[in-house]
Amino acid sequence: MNKKIYALLLAQFLSAFADNAILFTVIALVMQSTQLATWYVPALQSVFLISFILFAPWVGLWADKHPKKYILITANLIKAAGAGLLLLNIEPLVAYALVGLGAALYSPAKYGILPELAPKHLLVKANSWIEGSTIFAILLGMMIGAKLADESINLALFTTVILFILSALMSLFLPEHNKLKNQPSASTLKQFYQHLRIFLATTESRFAILNGALFWLAAATLRVILIAWAPLILLTQSASDIAELTLFLAIGIIIGSAIVPKIIPLDAIHLVRYPAAMMGVFILILSLMDTHLEARISLFFIGCAGGMFIVPINAILQDIGQHSIGSGAAVALQNFFQNIAMLIGVGVFTYSSSIAIHPIIAMLSLGLFILISTVLINIKVPKLS
């Protein structure tokens, strides 16, 4: 393993910390406002996701055409600019969309650089490190960010700007690998379509894309459901209360990410169907809980299953991309499908909220959807080489 992966881990930690601090700052902003409706948080999530979809044809190519360290630096500065706009009281939907653009650019470079730092047989391990670093940052970011935001929105936003800049500085220590050779000369959109056809030509890539989309749809939808469910069922009253509840989800993901390299290697990627199904089961169980202790335990097991589900999926997508269209382009394609799935999930929940569907029904529906989708994915792509 290249020793410079530690610089990536620290840069990712700082950026992910700031990502989640700004998310819970925006949630606190909405909860403290008497003018912003409950649909505003799903709307913010939606504009963030749209950036991933709209810029998918470009961000992967940029990550492969240029040294990824500079892409990471640029992405962090864009996210810092978005946080700065929030600090200047610019419309949150506009400012958070800019943060989304930075995140869309950051993701292909972050995951795309891993095959340059780790050989194939260590990719799952490298991904587990990245996921562990990310979730640890989420733990601290959401807790500290929510508490800061409950005290002072401006202080929380200023802190996120500083953290994004520090992450950009840490990225300077990453290696400067050569750009991807033999880049196609076609237009960007045509290249994106060509990459799409090449990448989805194999059973493994289709299996990974579908499962990755399923995971992120579940994660994004569960997050917005919790924001509606917890105040109603558990009587939570602030962003800090929501953050403390999701702490157990994050701890579970850390543990699941840590143990999965020993259980699901790349040559047994089909085994992710089992943690996927368990994630659906535990979401169903969560929907029946009505105390803080029961909710925390359920969220912990949802996190464990989710960590074991997504880490091998990320690794196989990076490996396939590294040997076909480029790791950055592969991650951009992955983000394209995953964020469409997340947008659909958040959109469906937003609509269900507008027609007064109870959050418990929404959560039950999400758990059933995951179970049914896991079965259908494995029926459609049952054989992996």
Question: Residue 66 is encoded by which pair of tokens?
Answer: 């240029």
Which pLDDT does position 186 carry in this prediction? 52
Torsion of CA 60, 326, 163, 148, to 10 degrees: 70
Question: Residue 218 is encoded by which pair of tokens?
Answer: 């579940």
Averaged pLDDT in 10-residue chunks for the chain of 385 residues: 78 91 83 67 81 81 81 94 91 90 86 74 76 79 86 91 94 72 59 79 82 90 87 80 82 86 78 91 93 92 92 80 71 81 87 83 94 86 58
Which pLDDT does position 15 carry in this prediction? 93
Distances (CA, A) of 108 to 42, 61, 273: 24, 9, 25
Hey, what domains does the chain have and what are their CATH numbers? 5-172+187-380 (1.20.1250.20)
Which pLDDT does position 236 carry in this prediction? 79
Which pLDDT does position 305 carry in this prediction? 94
Which pLDDT does position 327 carry in this prediction? 64
**53 near 173, Cβ under 8 Å?**
no
**228 near 38, Cβ under 8 Å?**
yes
- Condensed to tens digits (0 to 9), the pLDDT of residues 298-355 reads 999 999 999 899 888 888 877 777 677 776 677 777 778 888 998 899 888 878 877 8
Distances (CA, A) of 185 to 181, 182, 382: 12, 9, 36
Within 13 Å of residue 82, how many CA atoms lie on the same side as its CB?
30
Cα–Cα nearest to 302, from 346, 256, 339: 256
Distances (CA, A) of 250 to 213, 235, 300, 374: 19, 21, 7, 22
